[in-house]
Amino acid sequence: MRILSIDLETYSAVDIRKAGLYRYAENAEILLFAYAWDDEPVHVIDFTADETLPNDVMVGLWDEGTLKTAYNAAFEMHVLNQWVRMHSSKSELPAETAFMKPAQWFCTMVQGYTLGLPGGLGAVGKVLGIPEDKQKLATGKRLIQYFCKPCKPTKANGGRTRNYPLDDLEKWELFKTYNAQDVEAERAIRKRIEWAFPNATERRLWCLDQAINDRGVLVDQRLIREAVTFDARIKEEAMDEARKLTGMPNPNSNAQALDWFEEQEGYRPATLDKKFRAEYLKTGESEQVKEFFQLKNLLAKTSVKKYEAMRNMVCRDGRVHGMLQFYGAQRTGRWAGRGVQLHNLPQNHMEDLDDARQIVRQGDYDFLSCFYDNPSDVLSQLIRTAFIAKDGCRFIVADFSAIEARVIAWLADEKWRQEAFANGEDIYCASATQMFGVPVVKHGINGELRQKGKVAELACGYGGGVNALKAFGADKMGLSEAAMQEIVDKWRERSPHIVAMWRDMEKAAKRAIRHKGVIVKYHHGVTFQTERGCLFMQLPSGRRIAYCQPSIKTEDGDYFQKESITYKGVIQASGGWGAVYTWGGKIVENLVQATARDCLAAAMLRLDAAGYPIVMHVHDEVILEMPEGKGSLADAVRIMCEPIPWAEGLLLNADGYETKYYRKD
């Protein structure tokens, strides 16, 4: 099979960071097309000079025997899709071939993600030690800013709003060099990591991911338009009230707010951030300050910006595309959100959701303000409902129940948990029953203990202690640190196999690091092996998680030396590349979440094969857009819960609902 490496440079007045790839591609113009066959030299085709693609490249774009590769291949695929649509009348190719097929493409960026590498082409080149003459040029950002985006009209540039090649021929020649160098960089990276090409299942999943993003989701543009208008009015009124209350010209000014607070309270805190405001609202005495902080919270509310994200991303077909990034969570392989960020949508708890939607859609702000105490909260709760099924269809929404709890019970062979799932018990009640030695029934006997069981299940499964309980709101339940420690102790006492799993997994990982090449087995098909500079944890599905450049670091503890596992990865706080610590509980978390991801992936492939079009998926939930009268929730749930060949004994369960607009049931 021949390989065609490709990199495009494009111009668009649309900001890809706000509008997303698909809307950008609809408005993009190809400037430069760099390509290389196999190991042959790189060529650059200048579309601005009316140069055309050679015939072998045109044929190669559609040839199933040619593997097209690019860094972030989705960009090249979708820009070329639009280019073909615009130029199809000039092409001799049949109309039905005028679309890029993901199965014929390979994305080097996604391949890097599977090895835990950073996302940027330049960053990956540096991490892999690619020779400088084959790395991405550092001048690229400035050249992209100059040629690929609109410019501000000035006297110096003659009032133009765009820079063309003739405006700076020297820069343009450098830009062509940059374009060619990106192909060199992508090719060098691909060759360095091609030994770890994903298996056939992951290739199928990547193709399915492209199909889901291509399909997109219809949005209620009227609801979005009115919600954005309402939010602006809410903030305008809040700003007016804050000015009247405080006398500040600009209540959003941190300096002015600190000055005012100091006048009221007699001291000046370091910050008036969200955490400080929340604490003061609970313990502060000044009603005036509390009122200001409530207005400040309203002004700072950002969840409704998701309406603006939808509006920015909506394409000509009225749908939002490209909201999911395959393998975006590099360690576990879970999908990540893009643009609207589906994974952190506000929940809805309103009983009269339909009524609220209609009020906003009708643009009746006064009625909304009279009928609801907190109009801003209403707008937040309606965000999900902006995703709607097209005419003649409805959404079937189905999600796995307690998937992580089921997976960890199966992996650790914690029998009482597996029995609880087999009997259809509520895991939070079952956990509380085990912890406190009394029967706990939801909304029944000892039902007040269920919440403690829930918090414990969420916080303790991966080795978390009191701080983890606090992160899940245990302190807000009124629990003291002593009470929280008791919960941690009881949970660990009643889940000995999970606790042992933390230790066993860490020991297995350390052994694999010390004895390179040796396969260290756990169970359920989980193994560890260090090769080619990576510690690999093989999952029950056969997929592998990579930890780059692993090592065991010895540090002095209070009473003894402690050995810690480190590896090189993206540091969450800074986004840079450096040493990351891990331990047994964290490795178990990676294993469980990655296995849960593989369960969802297997279900998605089955649903797709059964004719259930997936338009979105969020965490462990799938949203299917089905014609009225076709398919059913029961059938979708049945497909999701089918046994998985590599997960014998794992008890899956799912539930869901049907709806005309997306919501939380």
Residue owning tokens 């280019």 = 83
Supply the pLDDT for residue 88.
58
What stretches in the chain show pLDDT beneath 50?
90-91, 93-98
Residue owning tokens 């509980």 = 585
Q: Quote the longest CA-to-CA distance of the chain.
A: 81
**In angstroms, rounded to a whole number, what is the distance separating the alpha carbons of residues 603 and 639?**
7
Q: Taking the C-alpha atoms of 83, 85, 88 and 93 in order, what is their torsion angle to the nearest 10 degrees?
A: 90
**30 and 45 Cβ atoms separated by less than 8 Å:** no
Supply the pLDDT for residue 50.
95
Burial (Cβ within 10 Å: 0-12, 13-18, ≥19) of residue 592: buried
Per-residue pLDDT of 287-317, as tens digits, reads: 999 999 999 998 888 878 999 999 999 999 9
Residue owning tokens 């259809």 = 424
**In angstroms, rounded to a whole number, what is the distance separating the alpha carbons of residues 614 and 399?**
13
**In angstroms, rounded to a whole number, what is the distance separating the alpha carbons of residues 658 and 489?**
41
**583 and 570 Cβ atoms separated by less than 8 Å:** no
Query: Within its chain, how far is the Cα of 122 from the centroid?
Result: 22
Query: Within its chain, how far is the Cα of 400 from the centroid?
Result: 18
The 8-class DSSP code of residue 205 comes to: H
Identify the CA nearest to 491 among candidates 518, 461, 530, 514. Answer: 461
**In angstroms, rounded to a whole number, what is the distance separating the alpha carbons of residues 451 and 507?**
34
Supply the pLDDT for residue 288.
94
Element spanning 365, H or E:
helix 365-371
**pTM for this prediction:** 0.91
In one-letter notation, the amino acid at residue 406 is: R
Supply the pLDDT for residue 194.
87
**385 and 354 Cβ atoms separated by less than 8 Å:** no
**In angstroms, rounded to a whole number, what is the distance separating the alpha carbons of residues 654 and 664?**
15
Residue 358 to residues 86, 221, 355, 423, Cα–Cα distance (Å): 39, 13, 5, 42
Residue 112 to residues 122, 329, 372, Cα–Cα distance (Å): 12, 12, 49
Supply the pLDDT for residue 96.
46
**In angstroms, rounded to a whole number, what is the distance separating the alpha carbons of residues 334 and 343?**
11
**In angstroms, rounded to a whole number, what is the distance separating the alpha carbons of residues 231 and 552?**
52
**In angstroms, rounded to a whole number, what is the distance separating the alpha carbons of residues 605 and 543?**
16
Helix (H, G, I), strand (E, B) or coil at 550: strand
